[in-house]
Structure 1
Amino acid sequence: MIRLHHVPWGRSFRVLWLLCEMGTPPDEIIRYRIGERAMREPGLMDVSPAGRIPALEIDGITIFESGAIVQYLCETRSDHGFGRGPGDVERVRFLEAIGFAETQASLIEQLNLNHLFLRPPAKPSPTVVKLNTLRLADTLRALEGMVAGETFLPSGFSGADAMLGFNLFAAPYYVRMDPYPRLRAYWAALQARPAFRQAAEIEGPQAFYARDFYEVPVDV
C-alpha cells in the first residue's frame, strides 16, 4: 500500500509525479486544502508532525518532506536510475538540485502567502513581496545557467527534475519567463513526459491560482 497525503498542485506533486515515473502511482491519495482544519488534526499530524504536505506511507514507514521522500524513493528503487549515489560523477549536482529546489520553493511559498492567503484587514507588504519576487527571479536566472537540455542532469531524468519541475509550474505566476528560454524549453520537455501527463491527469485542472499572473502590489 502506497498512501500519499497531498495538496493538488502543491509540493507533493513532486512525489506523485516521481511515483508515476516509477510505474507505481499511489494506491490511495488523501487530499487536503491549504489552511483547512484537517491539516491540524490527527491523521495528517500523525504522519507529518508539523501538519505539512507531503507525507508518504510506504514500505511500512511514513516519511515527510518532499526532498527526503524523493531521495528515499530514488535510493530504494534504484533500478529506475533516478538517483545518483555515492561515487556517481553527477551526485554533487543531484544533491545541489534537491536543495536548490527547496530554496526556490520557499520563495514561492512566501509569495503564495502574501498574494493568496492574506485577507483584510491584513494586507501584503509591497516591499516584502517585491523583495521575494526579485529573489525568486534571481534563482530562475541561476537555474537558467544550470539547465543544458531536456533534463537537469546530462545522463537523463532524475529525482532532481521532479523537484525542480514543480517550481517551474508555480514560478510563472510571479515572474515573467520570457528572459529564460532554456527554462521554458526544459519545462516543456518535462511536461511532455508520459508520467508527468499521468500525474497531471490524476490532479485535474489546477484551482490554486485564480489569476494568470500576480503583480507586486502597489502601496497606497
Structure 2
Amino acid sequence: MIVLHHVPQSRSMRVLWLLNELEGVEFRVVTHAFDKSLRQPEFLSLSPAGRVPALEIEGERMFESGAMMEYLCETFPERGMGRMPGDMDRMAYLVWLHFAETVSQHVAILTQQHIVLREDHMRSPTVMRLEAARLRKCYGAIEARLSTPVENRDYLLTGGYSACDIAVGQAVYMAQHFATLEGFPETAKWYGRLSERAAYQAALPEENGARIYEQAFYAAPEEDARG
C-alpha cells in the first residue's frame, strides 16, 4: 500500500494529483495540519526536514515531491505519465518536471511573506513585488513553450499529457494566489484544460477543509509601507 502524507495546498498536492491519475494504483492519504506538528519526532522519522509530502511505499520512505513523481512514473510506466529513457520527450520531461520547483520556490517565499509572517514589520514589500515578478517570468517560460508551433501543443510535452503538466500545473495553482495569468493566454488555456481533469479536482482541498491560503489572491504592495 502507498501512503501519502499530505497538507492541502502544499507541494504534496502534486503527488496526490499524480496518484489520482495512476488508474488502479491503490493508495491512502494521511492529512496533516500546516503547523508545528510537522516538527514532531514521529513525522520527522518520515521527512527529516519536517515538510510534506512524505511517501511510504514498499517499506521505504521518500520526502521529495519531484523524486516521488519520478519514482511513481517509473514504477507504473504503463500508465503513461512519465517518459522513459529513449523516449523522444525524455529530455524535455526531466526539464519540465523539475521546473515545477523553480516556480514553487518563489511561491514559498511569497507564502512566508504574506501568510507565515504575522506582523507587518516582519514583511518586505520589496521582496513581495520581486517574487511576484519572478512568478510572471516563470509564466513567460511556460507561455513560450506552449506557443511553440508544434502539432497538438496542448501540453508541455510533444507526446501529450504527462507528469510534467501535473507538477508545473500544481505549482501554477499555488502561484496564482500571488500572480494572475493575465497576459499569458496559452498558459491560461493550458491551465484550464488541467483544471477540468477529475484527478486535479480530486486533489483540491475539501470545500470546508483546512487550507494554507484563506484568500484567492494576495496582492503585493505597490509601495514600501516603511518608506
- TM-score, length basis structure 2: 0.89
Separation of aligned partners in 1, 2:117 and 2:26: 33
Change over 3 Å in CA distance of 1:112–1:24 after alignment to 2: farther
Deviations 1:94-133 (A, max 9, x none): 1111221101100001000001111126421111111111
Contact 1:3 1:26 (C-alpha < 8 Å) held by counterparts: no
Separation of aligned partners in 2, 1:170 and 1:121: 22
Contact 2:19 2:27 (C-alpha < 8 Å) held by counterparts: no
Task: Tell me whether 1:169 sits opposite 2:168 in the alignment.
Answer: no
Alignment match, 1:186: 190
Separation of aligned partners in 1, 2:201 and 2:75: 24
Separation of aligned partners in 2, 1:38 and 1:122: 26
Alignment match, 1:88: 87
Contact 1:151 1:190 (C-alpha < 8 Å) held by counterparts: no
Shift of 1:197: 2.6
Q: Secondary structure at the match of 2:154?
A: coil
Task: Tell me whether 1:23 sits opposite 2:23 in the alignment.
Answer: yes
For structure 2, the 5+ residue unaligned runs are: 148-152
Deviations 1:48-67 (A, max 9, x none): 11111101111221111110
Alignment match, 2:54: 55
Contact 1:104 1:167 (C-alpha < 8 Å) held by counterparts: yes
Q: Secondary structure at the match of 1:173?
A: coil
Contact 1:84 1:91 (C-alpha < 8 Å) held by counterparts: yes
Alignment match, 1:113: 112
Change over 3 Å in CA distance of 1:138–1:121 after alignment to 2: closer
For structure 1, the 5+ residue unaligned runs are: none
Q: Secondary structure at the match of 1:28?
A: strand
Shift of 1:25: 6.4
Separation of aligned partners in 1, 2:27 and 2:138: 35
> Paired residue for 2:164, among 160, 164, 171?
160
Separation of aligned partners in 2, 1:119 and 1:128: 16
Separation of aligned partners in 2, 1:116 and 1:96: 30
Deviations 1:157-213 (A, max 9, x none): 21111101111211121112110111111111111122223333xx31373222222
Separation of aligned partners in 2, 1:27 and 1:176: 33
Separation of aligned partners in 1, 2:154 and 2:33: 32
Contact 1:16 1:26 (C-alpha < 8 Å) held by counterparts: no
Alignment match, 2:97: 98
Task: Tell me whether 1:216 sits opposite 2:215 in the alignment.
Answer: no
Separation of aligned partners in 2, 1:158 and 1:43: 34
Contact 2:23 2:79 (C-alpha < 8 Å) held by counterparts: no
Q: Secondary structure at the match of 2:16?
A: helix
Separation of aligned partners in 1, 2:161 and 2:58: 24
Deviations 1:8-45 (A, max 9, x none): 121101111111100256643222222x2210012221
Alignment match, 2:150: none
Q: Cα RMSD over matched residues?
A: 1.7
Counterpart of 1:13 in structure 2: which amino acid? M
Separation of aligned partners in 2, 1:120 and 1:197: 34
Counterpart of 1:133 in structure 2: which amino acid? A
Counterpart of 1:43 in structure 2: which amino acid? E
The percent identity for this pair of structures is 37
Separation of aligned partners in 1, 2:29 and 2:112: 25
Alignment match, 2:135: 136
Alignment match, 2:66: 67
Contact 2:9 2:213 (C-alpha < 8 Å) held by counterparts: no
Counterpart of 2:143 in structure 1: which amino acid? E
Change over 3 Å in CA distance of 1:108–1:121 after alignment to 2: closer
